[in-house]
Amino acid sequence: MRFPCLRREGDRLQQLRAVLPCEVQVIAETHPLFGRLLAARSFKRWNGVLMLVVDLPDGSPGTIRADATDVFGVGGPQGAVSVLDAAGLRELYSLVERLCASRVAGIVGKAQVGSPRP
């Protein structure tokens, strides 16, 4: 159960209380445990940073930044996010091609879809 649209800090903490304990995946590509599933037991704030208390792969307890995991949903601030799937991207491409070909756009013959310059 993930909550990708949480905006306020109070909302985030309330949702953490609702889902913990749960499994989380490490999504920060620079983290040594990237891609691993960890059991998150609780959370705490340390120097203003929201941390999850997790069971490390060796069984010992540890902490990890909450934003390094998918506890609030995948695609967070870790990188570029796409809201289109492959079919949606194809439809958008088709729409842009039709717009470029129309006289309404006023760019007939001046540009190609995917070209770096007109």
Domain match, 60 and 21 both: yes
Residue 99 in any domain: the answer is yes
Residue 27 CA to its chain's centroid (Å)? 9
Helix (H) or strand (E) holding 29: none
Residue 118 in any domain: the answer is no
Q: What is the domain-level CATH number for residue 58?
A: 2.30.30
Cα 16 from Cα 3, distance rounded (Å): 9
Alpha helices by DSSP H, listed for the chain, are: 9-19, 86-101
Mean pLDDT per 10-residue run, the chain (118 residues)? 53 79 89 90 88 91 90 58 75 84 62 56
Q: How many beta carbons lie within 10 A of that of residue 42, not counting itself?
A: 14
**The overall pTM is greater than 0.75:** no
Three-class DSSP category at 68: helix
Residue 48 in any domain: the answer is yes
